[in-house]
Structure 1
Amino acid sequence: MTFLKTTAAAATALALTGFATMAPAQDAMPATVVDIVVGSDAHTTLEAAVIAAGLAETLSGEGPFTVFAPTDEAFAALPAGALEDALKPENKEMLTSILGCHVVGAKAMAADVVKMVADGNGMAEVTTIGNCALKLSVMDGMVKINDSVTVTAADLEAGNGVVHVIDGVLMPAM
């Protein structure tokens, strides 16, 4: 799916949905989406998972990437033992599959997502690099993924893409 360009209407929709744009000034922009994750105190678990899966180099590449970044609290809410199992070296393929559900191979700022949802009559579907289908919607003024995960901070922009913070972990269909 092609991400649509931001328009004035999308910017208005963005304002109406309650998104807080947190993009840093251009000269202070982190080089990569990995730099954003590594620089965040709320994403130490995601950082460890990206390193364990061997994805740091890929996500430090040219991109563009949109990363839906679960917080440490989101990982802590997984069933007991699930995270520990996924981080074991013998489960690297499973961990890579889970992390692949959080990355789209295009740059989609919040306004782009809101416009996609509006153009899709309330729902847009995107496919991640891990081949997960994410259903995006706007509910109660917030972007939701698969009706259960909420984007809590948007538009953390890097040179190779953008990071949106989410309050849940997206899992591949089993």
Structure 2
Amino acid sequence: MKAIIKFFLLTILIAGISACRNSSEAEEEDISASTEQASEERQGQAFVKDDVSEPTVLDIAIQSEDHSTLVAAVQTAELENALVNAGPLMVFAPTDEAFEALPEGTVDDLLKPENKNKLSLILKHHVTPGKYDKEFLKKFKKLGQASDLSVPVEVKGEDVYVGGAKIIASVPAGNGIVHVVDKVIIPEN
């Protein structure tokens, strides 16, 4: 009788292992197929769909009609993932009008693949660690940027200028704050 019970338990165990193995193989095939599909798409935190959390600084720029040039530049420089990290980040976001004020052909030239490093440096020059509102920024003389350079902070009346760009609006984000500025902040180097 014990032999029959052992045989029966052994049979169930083997069937269970076989079922798990088949299920695991099917999952591996599904994972492999989805991995191949995902590798064709851009990857990283910036490309995860999230309808629950507060918008990130990148989400705010994408949703703004006045920042399509900035978004195109961020995408060209492949910096999306940096703008969705935990932060906090302050992004000084030039409007499309600010980009249009640059010398003719500058934006088109920066968006060329061979100028990706230069574009990346300029964009990083618009990002500061922290989450300070315009009023608090008045206490600073300069800010250290993600470009490893610093920019001066000037107060003129109630207006705050960062790297010569005037803050014209501010929008809080889940991972920081977006300060809309009227000028592109170009590193001096």
> TM-score, normalising length from structure 2?
0.69
**Pairwise mapping of residues 139-154 of structure 1 onto structure 2 (< 5 A)?**
139-146=156-163, 148-154=164-170
Aligned partners of 1:29 and 1:157 also within 8 Å: no
Identical aligned residues as a percent = 40
Give the partner amino acid of 1:34: L
Aligned partners of 2:134 and 2:167 also within 8 Å: no
Give 3-state SS (helix, strand or coil) of 2:75's partner: helix
Q: Which has the higher contact order (CA 8 A, sep 6+)?
A: 1
How many pairs align?
Answer: 138
* CA distance in structure 1 between the aligned counterparts of 2:161 and 2:82, rounded to whole angstroms: 26
Residue 18 of structure 1 aligns with which residue?
none
Residue 104 of structure 2 aligns with which residue?
80
Q: Which runs of 5+ in 2 are unaligned?
A: 1-51
Aligned partners of 2:122 and 2:185 also within 8 Å: yes
Q: Of Structure 1 and Structure 2, which has the larger fraction of its residues in helix? A: 2
Please point out which of 86, 89, 92 is paired with 1:62.
86
How far 1:140 moved relative to its partner?
A: 3.0
Residue 126 of structure 1 aligns with which residue?
143
* CA distance in structure 1 between the aligned counterparts of 2:132 and 2:116, rounded to whole angstroms: 28
* CA distance in structure 1 between the aligned counterparts of 2:176 and 2:77, rounded to whole angstroms: 20
* CA distance in structure 1 between the aligned counterparts of 2:108 and 2:129, rounded to whole angstroms: 27
Residue 171 of structure 1 aligns with which residue?
186
Aligned partners of 1:152 and 1:167 also within 8 Å: yes
Give the partner amino acid of 1:165: V
> TM-score, normalising length from structure 1?
0.75
